[in-house]
Structure 1
Amino acid sequence: MSNHDETPENRLRKELPEEVPVGGASEAVDAPQEQRSELTGRQRLAKGLWPPRVTRAQLIVALLLFGLGFGLAVQVASNSDGDSALRGARQEDLVRILDELDDRTQRLEDEKQGLEKQRDELENSSNQAEEARKQTVEKEKQLGILAGTVAAQGPGITMTIDDTKGTVEADMLLDAIQELRAAGAEAIQVNGVRVVAGTYLTDSGNSVSVDGNKINAPYRFKVIGKPQDLEPALNIPGGVVQTLEKEQATVTIERSDKIVVDALRAAKRPDYARSSSQ
């Protein structure tokens, strides 16, 4: 067929492009736009993640979590190694290990009991030593009062003998001291001189000497003891008070809740006596 046979319609079909399927044009047009949208989202994501923005608190938390995880991993590995070692041990080895643990536990228990016993002994010893020290101090005070080396105070009486005639002699005062001792006197002081077990009295002209110390009337006795016993002992018929009054002396006795005996004697070292414990 020649070119002249082609009709205008056929020529027009050849010149036009092939028909595009339905929707093809739309997909062809939309594809580049979707690619552009996906690319933009990735860029936005990358831009949000880099460069990283880490705060100080987040960094500290991350380090703590890392350290905790590392410690747990090491502990798990250690336990696994120990369990593996015991799991692979023979029965005889396991029995030996248990026996060693029992022995060690027993030794520790014995050591604990020994230490507790030592602690109790030390506490008892300390308490006994403290009690002995207190008793020693108290005994020293008591002996010091009797020996006249320590001042004393307590209830008692004050007896004053006024001798205007000068008729009171040393033996009369000594009788008064003996009567007071028999009535329970624990400390006696006459005109500033402490009376002790070895005290002696002598006449010295119109006065009296106590252990070589001259004292003059009026003679004042400070006596510590039970007043209810001391005063009646001096006032018994034919006793100290009546004897002194016969010599025209005036005797006054006063009770008191607090008598202070503060005259002291120097402690004397014995020449021959020694403690039997030496």
Structure 2
Amino acid sequence: MKLKGKHVIFSFIFLVAGFLLALGYKIASEEPKIIRMNDEELQEELEYQAQLNNIDQENKELRAELESLRSDIRDFEENLGGQEKQLASYIEERNKLELITGDVPVEGPGISVTLSDAEYIPNEENVNDYIVHDLHVHLVINELLASGANAIAINGQRILGDSYIACTGPVITVDGKQHPAPFVIQAIGDPEVLQASMNLQNGVLDKLVSDHVEVNIKTSDHIQMDAVFSSEGW
């Protein structure tokens, strides 16, 4: 019985091996199949390929044009940004000049410094030593300007960069217009800074007091000044 079993197994192995050999020979003996196209189909395929190539070339050209446009836009935006900064600088400079020339009205917080002649004058003293002079007005204006005042007026008259202040007897003349005492000098700017500059030790206030000038300083949340032409009735 054992011998017959081996014969069955060997027979099965030889059968499978023979089948595989026969299958391999058949596959090896077959010629490879080639897809053949007629002339019309070949021409159609070539046309499709040419169209694809053209589309690919057009896409490359469009991408290059798009990148060029993006570059132009970036350059334009950078140029525009520079122009906006330059314009803002021009506007800021113009506003500063208008404040200096008094061409526009101005308003804001600031301080008022009132200079008055001394109320008591001893009989033996010189009267001129107890009244306000143009020197005192100049001291106050220069101190306020040095402390950042944006605009200054005396008794409502705007002070310009080239304003002329001089004594004319008991009054002072500002650009040809006379003002009697007391002289109210208004300055628009940071009230705390302006007031502190006036109260510096051995500063303007001490000088005025030593010259017998009565001084009153007060801050204000709102000071309004007309333009030069408006204040002069032009």
Note whether the superposition's TM-score is higher than 0.5: yes
For structure 2, list consecutive stretches of 5 or more residues without a partner in the other structure: 1-38, 120-127
Q: 1:127 to 1:87 in 2, by over 3 A?
A: farther
* Corresponding residue pairs, total: 182
Please identify, of 187-196 and 230-239, the stretch whose mean Cα deviation from structure 2 is larger: 230-239
Conserved 8 A contact 2:115-2:183:
yes
CA shift for structure 1 position 95: 4.5
- Give the Cα separation in 2 of the matches to 1:86 and 1:200: 102
CA shift for structure 1 position 195: 1.8
Aligned to 2:192: 228
TM-score, normalisation: structure 1: 0.55
Please identify, of 182-191 and 214-223, the stretch whose mean Cα deviation from structure 2 is larger: 182-191
Residues 1:170 and 2:138 aligned together: no
- Counterpart selection for 1:216 from 153, 159, 180: 180
Q: For each residue in 1:104-141, what CA deviation from the matched residue of structure 2 results, as whole angstroms up to 9, or x when unmatched?
A: 22112222222233333334433443343233222211
Amino acid across the alignment from 2:144: L
For structure 1, list consecutive stretches of 5 or more residues without a partner in the other structure: 1-84, 267-278
Q: 1:137 to 1:185 in 2, by over 3 A?
A: same
- Higher RCO (CA-CA < 8 Å; seq separation 6+): 2
Divergent runs of 4+, >4 A: 90-95
CA shift for structure 1 position 171: 1.3
Q: 1:109 to 1:182 in 2, by over 3 A?
A: closer
- Give the Cα separation in 2 of the matches to 1:225 and 1:99: 73
Q: 1:218 to 1:87 in 2, by over 3 A?
A: farther
Amino acid across the alignment from 1:162: S
Residues 1:259 and 2:213 aligned together: no
- Counterpart selection for 1:241 from 185, 190, 205: 205
1:134-145 to structure 2, matched below 5 A, reads: 134-145=88-99
Residues 1:87 and 2:51 aligned together: no
CA RMSD of aligned residues (A): 3.0
Conserved 8 A contact 1:186-1:223:
yes
- Give the Cα separation in 2 of the matches to 1:242 and 1:108: 79
